[in-house]
Amino acid sequence: MMEQDAFGKCHPAVNFLFFVGAIGFGVLIQHPVYLAAGALCAGIYYMLLHGAQGWKRILQLLPLFVLLTLINPLFNIQGERVLFDVFGRPYTLEALIYGADVAGIFVVMLLWFGCYNRILTGDKFTSLFGNWIPAISLLLVMVFRMVPGLMGKSKQIAAARRSVGKGVGTSTRQKLDAGMAVLSALISWALEGSVVTGDSMRARGYGTAKRTSFQLYRMTVRDGLLLATMMFLGASVIGVAVMGGMGAEFTPRLQIAPVSGWSVLGLAAYCLFLLIPTAMHCKEALQWSISKLKI
Amino acid sequence: MKKSHMASILTFLLLVPATLYLGTRLPGRSYYITSTLIIIELMIPFFLAYEGRRPQARELVLIAVMAAAAIASRVAIPLPHFKPVFAVIILSGVVFGPEAGFMVGAITAFASNFFYGQGSFTPWQMMAFGAGGMLAGFVFQKKGLPRKPWIIAAFGFLTVVLWIGPLLDCSHIFLIMSKISWEAVLAVLLAGFYANISQAICTVITLLLFGKPILEKLDRVRIKYGMTN
């Protein structure tokens, strides 16, 4: 299992709610200022989690951003300021700006999912939903355990085939045949094993009583406070959005609500919400370096 | 009435219309969120029905094994980009019935994304694979089409090209297009066409080469251990 950072050590409910909020708001709010704030927060946390490789992956997203930006006006011909004609259709400035906005939303979402995959690992998901969907959580846990096992077994089968002179071969056809033979042997081996496992589970009393589960994660006071803070900030963002502080129309005419006066509160709440994991990460790193200095 | 039936009725009569209504009221491009929520809501009754009938240990392990085999099958075949995942899902649907087909498909999509990364497409992929496996179960029932490898292969080709590929492309249309028009939909579908065709060809090759032996094996295990569906 990967080393978790300060935010990753929180209760899975905190992690899950944060990503629901971050990704949900990120996809729904089109306002460019909010988008920029989201991109900044997502980028910072992504780099904190992925270290030196993070830079490279973020740079790899840039061509995608440019491509999506340029493609969008081809399919959205509304707008007032025509830049030039493509195939007899107008290519407008408004549609280009809209395209950049949509592409930005997509990239920010990819970044948040990159963080999600680091933080919300399989064990956290099953411990979060284990009480609501016990059979399906058990299924997932079994799959997580079986996949590495089956991959190992398929290597074992291939090695056994090599030792009797049935190596992989060089042509595509030979590789395909060898692969199919391995897959076929793998499935019969795994199926026979599954029946034994199932009977063993039944013999030990699976399904005779309600399943209890070992909880690795406990709700602490800190987790409760975090949940309350996140809900308060999220509600503030929704409130400002309902009052129209985040309205943004791009085509046919640019109509973007100004971020001033009371609607600054919405932006502040949004940024505070998104910076929660970064703040926790940095606080832990700072504490660690201070306590190292004391030695 | 059973709890799971209540949940299905509530989902179809209340939850989905409410989501659609709220979705039309939201400003801007809300169709990605709306459509994804509806996809998730449509899967809820299936999962609740499965939970509600308290599956036996054997059924659970069987589905877990088929899903794990579908995920691990990428490694078993020493060719890059050759993914027999969907072929394995179809075969489990054919042998073990529609319900097992749905569960194997949905669990395969969800669990494999824990290894290769979750994304905006996860619910769509679960729906696509699950419904594909379920359809295989319905089409190749005892009274349905004969279980000949080439018929299953043709079925696999059509499902990948007409259902799984377009559904996954749809999730992208909703995310990357500022305005939904027929041309935009067509462009994204055409852009995805090559990938969908190559995926379909992998499925067909796997089913043709591997369909007959694996069907026999699955049936043998099913009869040997008395797992009649």
Give the pLDDT of chain A (295 residues) as one tens digit per residue: 467 888 988 999 999 999 999 999 998 888 999 999 999 999 999 999 998 888 888 999 999 999 999 988 888 878 878 888 888 788 888 889 999 999 999 999 999 999 999 998 888 888 888 878 888 888 999 999 999 999 999 999 989 998 988 777 778 888 888 888 888 889 888 888 888 898 899 899 887 887 777 777 888 999 999 999 999 999 999 988 888 878 888 877 888 888 887 888 889 999 999 999 999 999 998 999 999 998 8
Instruction: Please tell me which residue, B20 or A150, carries the higher pLDDT value.
Output: A150
Distances (CA, A) of A86 to A6, A92, B188: 51, 10, 18
Please tell me which residue of chain A has the smallest CA distance to B214.
A184
Q: Is residue B95 part of a domain?
A: yes
Cross-chain CB nearest to A195 (options B51, B71, B221): B221
| A192–B72 C-beta distance less than 8 A | no
Residue B135's pLDDT band, with cuts at 50, 70 and 90, is: very high
- A residues 40-99 near B, CB within 8 Å? 68, 71-72, 74-76, 78, 95, 98-99
Indicate if B149 and B117 belong to the same structural domain.
yes
Indicate if B216 and B106 belong to the same structural domain.
yes
Give me B120's structure tokens. 């905006």
Q: Is the bond leading into A252 cis (omega within 30 degrees of zero)?
A: yes
Indicate if B43 and B129 belong to the same structural domain.
no
Question: In chain A, count of helices (H) and strands (E)?
Answer: 9, 4
Distance from CA of B205 to the nearest CA of A (A): 9
Distance from CA of B220 to the nearest CA of A (A): 10
Please tell me which residue of chain A has the smallest CA distance to B67.
A143
Q: Is residue B135 part of a domain?
A: yes
Indicate if B121 and B17 belong to the same structural domain.
no
Indicate if B77 and B155 belong to the same structural domain.
yes
Indicate if B141 and B41 belong to the same structural domain.
no
Indicate if B71 and B170 belong to the same structural domain.
yes
The per-residue pLDDT for range A200-253, each reduced to its tens digit, is 998 998 878 877 777 778 889 999 999 999 999 999 999 888 888 788 888 778
How far apart CA A131 and CA A140 sit, in angstroms, is: 14
Q: Is residue B100 part of a domain?
A: yes
**b/e map A143-161, b = 16+ CB within 10 Å:** bbebbeebbebbeebbeeb
Indicate if B216 and B137 belong to the same structural domain.
yes
Q: Is residue B229 part of a domain?
A: no
Indicate if B125 and B156 belong to the same structural domain.
yes
> Whole domain around residue B65: which residue ranges?
61-224
Chain A residues with CB under 8 Å of B221 CB are 188, 191-192, 195
Residues facing residue A255 across a β-bridge: A249
Indicate if B85 and B38 belong to the same structural domain.
no
The per-residue pLDDT for range B32-53, each reduced to its tens digit, is 888 888 888 888 888 888 888 8
Q: Of B21, B39, B54, which residue sits at a domain end?
A: B54
Query: Any chain A CB within 8 A of the CB of B209?
Result: yes
E-strand stretches of A153-295: 248-249, 255-256
Helix (H, G, I), strand (E, B) or coil at A92: strand
How far apart CA A171 and CA B91 sit, in angstroms, is: 27
Q: What is the CATH classification number for the domain harbouring B130?
A: 1.10.1760.20
**Domain extents in chain A:** 12-126+220-293, 133-203
Residue B72 burial (CB < 10 Å; 0-12/13-18/19+)?
buried
Chain B residues with CB under 8 Å of A143 CB are 64, 67-68, 71, 107, 111
Interface test with A, best of B46, B96, B107, B178 (most A CBs within 10 A): B178
Give me A37's structure tokens. 């704030």
Helix (H, G, I), strand (E, B) or coil at A256: strand
- A residues 173-192 near B, CB within 8 Å? 175-180, 182-184, 186-188, 190-192
Query: How many domains does chain B contain in total?
Result: 2
ipTM score of complex = 0.88
